[in-house]
Amino acid sequence: MEGDLMVLGVWASPFVRRVQMVLDLKGIEYEYREDNDLMNKSPLLLKLNPVHKKVPVLVHHGKPIPESQVIIEYIDEKWTDKPILPLDPYDRAMARFWATYIDEKCLPAFWKAAWVSPPGEEREKACEEAYEVFGKLEAHLKEGDKKFFGGDDIGYVDIVANFLLYWFVLIGEEVTGVRILTEERFPALWECLENFKGSPIAARHLPDKDKLLSFYKSRLAATSSS
Amino acid sequence: MEGDLMVLGVWASPFVRRVQMVLDLKGIEYEYREDNDLMNKSPLLLKLNPVHKKVPVLVHHGKPIPESQVIIEYIDEKWTDKPILPLDPYDRAMARFWATYIDEKCLPAFWKAAWVSPPGEEREKACEEAYEVFGKLEAHLKEGDKKFFGGDDIGYVDIVANFLLYWFVLIGEEVTGVRILTEERFPALWECLENFKGSPIAARHLPDKDKLLSFYKSRLAATSSS
């Protein structure tokens, strides 16, 4: 046990899984606490992350750290063995650039197209925007011509990106029926995701497909009826 | 001259000024190129930042790095003297947390309230949302009870935050007339901004008020008439 280390999370969150995967990759032991009542934020969550009121939160020696990307950088700086971010400053900058792009551009574009927009013209427009956003990621990956975003091994951008891609494909294919990420449209992204899914470390952290689907289907039903 | 180092920027951008201030604080010499035709993106900008097509871009030994926060971390890792981010991993995590909060929460909230929303109920609602967002920053600053976000000296969060605050106050007070950031409402933020403005390093990088005002007034006029 690496001192007093706890992750507050929700099993269905790709952001929480990022943190768990990084701790696993580094071989760091920790306590995990499930905080899965998304409708009523727990007093513990409100205390640990009063600004965003979101999981994951990492608590180390009593000090809370929210936001998955911030947490991963913290872990990588505190436990320097088996680095998650590249070591070279330029490569680190590029990793941060794409990780931010994924959370700030890809995520909202996907959500808008597949979840929020009503069918018809509005959804079509949102899909076009999403294709453009994901197209830049595809082009970047193609240019590198590597097995993973991080090169030959899973790295920071894979951890940030591939969890989301896994969720997106599932939600798009089987929950909302809006298929944005397909093998035909984004072959390089698709291959990278397949490589990721096939790795032992990812397999340990990708949640069960059926369980995840029923979780999101019930959320969609709740959204539609509210 | 620290090798082949160039900043592509626009004089009126707080994001560009962040980078210039960091280079100044560290005493790093660089070439500055103005790229101020915001309507027609220059071929150089499109080449250096094809993803976002935005300044600033730092070019070091021919390699482009976009996005001000990514650039600052790069500079701080490449030239480790006079660190901009705190050295302790927890303090670094908190600095990254608040820097992200400012760009991802405060900036859109301000923009929506002061620039985008039409007067009336919609703007009032946007202002209430902005008060809430800035209120969390105010509470954080009050809790620390320090001269700057970074403590007794200007640090990473000050560089990220205070340029924006300076712009926001100017735009709110004198361009759109929507005053969100006032001394009465956010005394701790206000004091921190005043301390920042009074520092020699900030004074060297805050652009001339009248020039900045006429730049944004003409942009507002262009927006209104389009």
CB–CB contact B93 A74 (8 Å): yes
pLDDT for A2 beyond 60: no
Three-state DSSP state, B13: coil
The amino acid occupying position B33 is: R
Interchain contact B77–A (C-beta under 8 A): yes
Three-state DSSP state, A61: coil
Mean pLDDT of A178-200: 93
Contacts of B77 by beta carbon, 8 Å cutoff, 6+ apart: A89, A92
Query: Looking at this predicted complex, what is its ipTM?
Result: 0.94
pLDDT tens figures, A46-66: 999 999 999 999 999 999 999
Q: What is the pLDDT of residue A96?
A: 97
Mutate to test the interface with B, among A5, A65, A102, A134 (most CBs of B within 10 A): A65
Task: Give residue B66's Cα distance to chain centre.
Answer: 14
Kindly report the average pLDDT of chain A as a whole number.
92
- Residue % of chain B over a pLDDT of 90: 72
Collect all residues of chain A within an 8 Å Cβ-Cβ radius of residue B69: 96, 100
Interchain contact B79–A (C-beta under 8 A): no
Q: pTM (2 decimals)?
A: 0.94
Q: What is the pLDDT of residue B3?
A: 64
What is the full DSSP assignment across B28-79?
A: ---EEEE---SSS--HHHHHH-TTT--S-EEEETTEEEESHHHHHHHHHHHS
